[in-house]
Amino acid sequence: MGYINKWLQNLIQDMKENFKLPKDWNKYLSEVEKEHNLIIKNKAGYYCTNCQQTFKSNRKIDTEMNCPHCNHKFLIKSNRLKKYWYRDNVLMIDKIQDQLILRIFELYSNYNSDKQEFEHSTVEYARQLIYHQYRELRNERVSINQGGPFVHHYEHEGKWRLYDGYYYESVPAGFLYKNNLKQVFKNTEYEHSRMWQYIRKPYTEYYNAKELLRIAKCSSFETLVELKLYNLAKYAEMFWTEGSFQHIFGISKDYYEFMRKHNITKDQLDILKIYPTKDIKLLKYLEKFGEYNLRQIKEYTKLDNFIKYFKENKLKDSRMYIDYLEFAEKLGFDLKNKKYLFPENLKQAHDELEQQIEMVEQEKNNKLIQKRLKKLEKNIFKTKEFIIFPATSAGDLVDESQQQHNCVRTYVDRYAKGRCDIYFMREVENTKKSLVTVEVVDNKVIQKRTKNNGPTSKEQNEFLKLWEDVVLNQKINKANKRILEYAAS
Ligand SMILES: [Zn+2]
């Protein structure tokens, strides 16, 4: 610990003496500051606090719009607005004693309602040691508020100290200054990363520096940036670096110009692999359905046919179409026949087949239940007051569900397959009317429910206990025998 402290003290001292801000730092900040502005709706018109131009519009307050003069996108606020502020991180990667340091600044912009303009301030408050799990140094401008670190802009930076708290490390995300990167990365593992090319205009986009530095370590990152496939560089870990274009991207090199021109995303590439096209509008159309769904549809028909069918019929729900195709296949429809492959009314066809499937399944279940009944009917049991008997069909379960307002109907599959037994306990005087729904597993009553999933009465419990002991488990003792005799009399 002592050694580390000494090393850190030395590092902190060295930073104090040698850390400088780049010559174009202020120029860069003034670019970023432009993002911190509003459009103020006055009587005379809409006033942009960035370019100080007034213009006409009818856009609503609290929506965003592009200023027609400076073309920046800002929120619209009323001229009654008194208070408004922005806080954003600005990041710079620096180097000292061969250590890469992530320097974290805060840009704070406060609205002056009298002048209708923003006053900006940028101060540094944290430094993270990239090679040491991003351990954080902080100066005296930071205090911990509810919810996280709070930066005081009008304090001096004071002393830098190692931040030892577990929570509230600064988030290493923000606007990232890029002009020093090539220089700073010299003789580091990032020397060839081309990260300075990856960060493109506008320089006011948020980056997670920690995430970016992790990805930029992959050798494919450099290759992807060099190819200007920036959106794919985000997923550098998922690409090979060796071999042909086809091998790396899963698509012919003929598509490279198209990919570069539109800076295609990982999702778009996944679709290109199953449907090569140079039509960006079509690619974006297909993207809405998702690669996973398209792959499934492709098992039934060519995607060209699918596109034609969906566009002509103005359809949108590819999931419904896949469900329909799966129903049709199960029911043995001839999907080579266009009438079935592309139904005129998809929704209607889908609903019809769904019903048919349900009927087929119910029939299957009923057959299985019939087979099980031979054994289960041996457990029918009756006293003077109550009787208990197994459900005889899927329809029985539906009826019980409706009478009892419970969900026993959904147990059909499990019941048919023998994963549970379902019995109805009723009054001898009124066997049509539901009383208790009973689920049995391994000869044990595991659920007993009266109407609306209510609890059973003392008498009902006694009856069920007797039935469980005597009938299901053949446990006949003296006490049970007496009750049985009484019941039979
Ligand atoms: Zn403007």
Say how many Å lie between the CA of residue 42 and the centre of ligand 1. 15
Instruction: Note whether residue 40 is domain-resident.
Output: yes
d(CA 71, CA 486) in angstroms, rounded, equals 93
Say how many Å lie between the CA of residue 151 and the centre of ligand 1. 29
393 and 310: one domain? no
14 and 135: one domain? yes
State mean pLDDT over 243-260. Answer: 94
Q: What domain range is 310 assigned to?
A: 291-344
Q: What is the pLDDT of residues 354-384, one digit of tens each?
A: 999 999 999 999 999 999 999 999 999 999 8
- Cis ω for the linkage preceding 202 (within 30 of 0): yes
Q: How many domains does the chain have?
A: 3
pLDDT at 487: 64
Instruction: Note whether residue 115 is domain-resident.
Output: yes
Instruction: Note whether residue 209 is domain-resident.
Output: no
C-alpha atoms less than 13 angstroms from C-alpha of 320 in its C-beta half-sphere: 14
End of a domain among 148, 176, 204?
176
d(CA 468, CA 480) in angstroms, rounded, equals 11
Tell me how far the alpha carbon of residue 73 is from its chain's centroid: 27
380 and 313: one domain? no
166 and 299: one domain? no
8 and 98: one domain? yes
pLDDT at 232: 96
337 and 378: one domain? no
Does residue 338 carry a pLDDT above 80? yes
Instruction: Note whether residue 229 is domain-resident.
Output: no
Q: How do 444-449 and 436-441 pair as beta strands?
A: antiparallel
Enumerate long-range contacts of 453-457, CB under 8 Å, 24 or more apart: 453/404, 453/405, 453/406
Helix (H) or strand (E) holding 266: helix 266-274
pLDDT at 488: 61
Instruction: Note whether residue 216 is domain-resident.
Output: no
Say how many Å lie between the CA of residue 105 and the centre of ligand 1. 26
171 and 53: one domain? yes
On average, the pLDDT of the chain sits at 93
319 and 451: one domain? no
45 and 170: one domain? yes
Say how many Å lie between the CA of residue 35 and the centre of ligand 1. 10
> What does the H/E/C string look like for 350-415?
HHHHHHHHHHHHHHHHHHHHHHHHHHHHHHCEECCCEEEEECCCHHHHHHHHHHHCCCHHHHHHHH
Between the alpha carbon of residue 84 and those of residues 14, 72, 77, 273, 415, the distances in Å are 38, 18, 10, 48, 63
107 and 43: one domain? yes
Say how many Å lie between the CA of residue 73 and the centre of ligand 1. 8
Say how many Å lie between the CA of residue 41 and the centre of ligand 1. 13
DSSP conformational letter for 91: E
Q: Tell me the one-letter amino acid at 77.
A: K
Confidence of residue 489 (pLDDT cuts 50, 70, 90): low
Say how many Å lie between the CA of residue 37 and the centre of ligand 1. 9
Residue 461: give its domain's CATH number: 3.40.630
Say how many Å lie between the CA of residue 230 and the centre of ligand 1. 29
pLDDT at 485: 67
Among the residue ranges 45-59, 94-108, 161-175, the one predicted with the least confidence is: 161-175
End of a domain among 161, 176, 191?
176
Say how many Å lie between the CA of residue 91 and the centre of ligand 1. 26
Confidence of residue 1 (pLDDT cuts 50, 70, 90): very low
Please check whether residue 54 is in contact with residue 40, taking contact to mean a CB–CB distance below 8 angstroms: no
pLDDT at 78: 95
342, two tokens: 């592309």
End of a domain among 126, 148, 176?
176
Q: Dihedrals φ, ψ of 65, to 5°?
A: -150, 160
pLDDT at 476: 73
pLDDT at 3: 64
Q: Which of 81, 86, 53 is nearest to 67 (CA)?
A: 53
Confidence of residue 399 (pLDDT cuts 50, 70, 90): very high
pLDDT at 48: 97
State mean pLDDT over 329-352. Answer: 94
d(CA 126, CA 161) in angstroms, rounded, equals 10
Among the residue ranges 122-126, 201-205, 340-344, 391-395, the one predicted with the least confidence is: 201-205
State mean pLDDT over 254-258. Answer: 97
d(CA 170, CA 136) in angstroms, rounded, equals 8
pLDDT at 478: 66
pLDDT at 146: 76
d(CA 98, CA 189) in angstroms, rounded, equals 11
Say how many Å lie between the CA of residue 108 and the centre of ligand 1. 20
Please check whether residue 55 is in contact with residue 71, taking contact to mean a CB–CB distance below 8 angstroms: no
Say how many Å lie between the CA of residue 201 and the centre of ligand 1. 18
429, two tokens: 């005087």
320 and 455: one domain? no
Instruction: Note whether residue 309 is domain-resident.
Output: yes
pLDDT at 155: 84
pLDDT at 344: 94
Say how many Å lie between the CA of residue 71 and the centre of ligand 1. 6
pLDDT at 250: 93
d(CA 177, CA 58) in angstroms, rounded, equals 37
Give residues whose Cβ lies within 5 Å of ion ligand 1: 48, 50-51, 67, 69-70
Say how many Å lie between the CA of residue 174 and the centre of ligand 1. 23
Q: Which of 377, 368, 373, 374 is nearest to 471 (CA)?
A: 377
Helix (H, G, I), strand (E, B) or coil at 187: coil
Between the alpha carbon of residue 170 and those of residues 12, 84, 125, the distances in Å are 18, 23, 9
Q: Which of 34, 203, 54 is nearest to 120 (CA)?
A: 34
Does residue 472 carry a pLDDT above 80? yes
Instruction: Note whether residue 377 is domain-resident.
Output: yes
20 and 98: one domain? yes
Instruction: Note whether residue 232 is domain-resident.
Output: no
